[in-house]
C-alpha cells in the first residue's frame, strides 16, 4: 500500500468509498458518496439515467480520478494506485464485450494473456470453462456467430477468468431473453460463492432483488443503501420497483 494514502481496511471489505466526489466544471456528477462493499457480496448499484452511476464506476475501476474524497478498491487507492486496481478487477458491459472476429478460444486466450494468467494454466482453465458452460463444440466458432445470450455468458466468464477480487458488471443483461437472463444470474451467484465480489448495475428491478445489498443513486448522491428486504420495509413497498420509483421520482436530474 502506498505511503501517502494508506489506511487499514478490515479484511472483508473490498471497496471502501469516503465522500467520493467528481465534478466537471460547476456540475457535481458524484456528490460525496460513502459506502463499503464486502468480500463475496453481490452489490446492486442502481440509479436513474444521469444519476452518476457510470462516473462513480469509472473512478472505482481506476479509469478516472476523484475531485475530492477517496476510495480503495481491493486494498488500493483509486487516485494513486489505479494500475494495481486494474489487475485485480474484471469488467463487463453490454456494449464492450468480446472481439467478434476472434474465435471463442482466441478471446479467452487474449484476455487471459492481458491479465497475466500463467501460460500453463490457460489451456486447462479454458477447457474447464467451456465444459462448465456447455460450449465445448463452439471452441473454434467466431464470437459473432454466437447467439446474444451465449456471448453475454462467455463475456462474463472471460471477465472473471483471472480470478479478480471484484467484477464490475454494467447492465450485463440488457436485451437478453428472460430464460438467459436468469441463467446469467446463476453464473453471478456461482462467482459470488467462489468469493468474487460482484458490483452490478441494472434497469431490471427484479434483478435488484437478487442482490445482497442495493444502493440507489439520485442526483449524484446515494439516497438509500440496504438489503432489498430492509429497503422494502423502510419504504413500505411491495417490491424494489416501488422503492426505486419512490426515490428516483424526486430526482431533479433527469436522464
Cα–Cα nearest to 60, from 199, 234, 223: 199
d(CA 121, CA 82): 26
Residue number, 139 or 182, with CB nearest to other proteins: 182
Helix (H) / strand (E) containing 146: none
Chain-centroid distance, C-alpha 204: 15
Unique residue bearing C-alpha cell 462474463: 156
Residue 239 interacting with other proteins (CB under 8 A): yes
Of 11-19, 69-77, 103-111, 204-212, the segment contacting other proteins by CB under 8 A is: 204-212
Residue 221 interacting with other proteins (CB under 8 A): no
Residue 56 interacting with other proteins (CB under 8 A): no
Torsional sign, CA 224, 229, 233, 237: positive
Q: Between residue 129 and residue 188, which ones bind other proteins under the rule CB under 8 A? A: 147-149, 171, 174-180, 182-183, 185-186
Q: Is 164 helix (H, G, I), strand (E, B) or coil?
A: coil
Can you tell me which of 206, 221, 226, 237 binds other proteins, judged by CB under 8 A?
A: 206
Cα–Cα nearest to 17, from 253, 221, 230: 221
Residue 40 interacting with other proteins (CB under 8 A): no
Q: Least distance to other proteins from the beta carbon of 249, Å?
A: 6
By CB under 8 A, name the binding residues for other proteins. 47-50, 94, 147-149, 171, 174-180, 182-183, 185-186, 189, 203-206, 209-210, 228-229, 239-241, 244-245, 248-249, 251, 254-255
Amino acid at each position: 500500500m502506498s505511503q501517502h494514502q494508506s489506511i487499514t481496511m478490515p479484511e472483508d471489505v473490498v471497496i471502501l468509498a469516503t465522500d467520493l466526489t467528481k465534478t466537471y466544471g460547476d456540475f457535481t456528477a458524484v456528490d460525496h458518496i460513502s459506502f463499503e462493499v464486502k468480500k463475496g457480496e453481490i452489490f446492486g448499484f442502481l440509479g436513474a439515467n444521469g444519476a452518476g452511476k457510470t462516473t462513480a464506476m469509472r473512478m472505482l475501476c481506476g479509469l478516472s480520478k476523484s475531485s475530492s474524497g477517496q476510495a480503495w478498491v481491493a486494498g488500493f487507492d483509486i487516485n494513486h494506485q489505479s494500475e494495481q486496481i486494474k489487475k485485480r478487477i474484471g469488467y463487463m458491459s453490454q456494449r464492450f464485450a468480446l472481439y467478434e472476429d476472434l474465435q471463442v478460444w482466441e478471446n479467452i486466450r487474449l484476455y487471459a494473456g492481458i491479465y497475466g494468467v500463467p501460460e500453463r494454466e490457460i489451456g486447462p482453465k479454458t477447457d474447464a470453462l467451456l465444459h462448465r458452460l456447455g460450449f465445448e463444440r463452439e471452441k473454434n466458432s467466431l464470437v459473432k456467430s454466437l447467439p446474444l445470450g451465449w456471448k453475454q455468458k462467455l463475456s462474463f466468464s472471460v471477465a472473471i477468468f483471472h480470478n479478480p477480487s471484484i467484477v464490475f458488471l454494467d447492465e450485463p443483461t440488457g436485451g437478453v431473453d428472460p430464460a438467459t437472463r436468469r441463467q446469467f444470474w446463476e453464473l453471478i451467484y456461482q462467482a459470488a460463492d467462489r468469493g468474487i465480489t460482484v458490483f452490478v448495475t441494472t434497469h431490471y428491478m427484479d434483478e435488484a432483488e437478487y442482490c445482497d445489498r442495493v444502493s440507489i443513486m439520485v442526483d449524484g448522491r446515494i439516497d438509500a443503501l440496504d438489503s432489498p428486504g430492509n429497503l422494502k420495509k423502510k419504504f413500505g413497498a411491495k417490491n424494489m420497483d416501488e422503492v426505486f420509483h419512490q426515490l428516483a421520482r424526486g430526482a431533479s436530474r433527469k436522464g
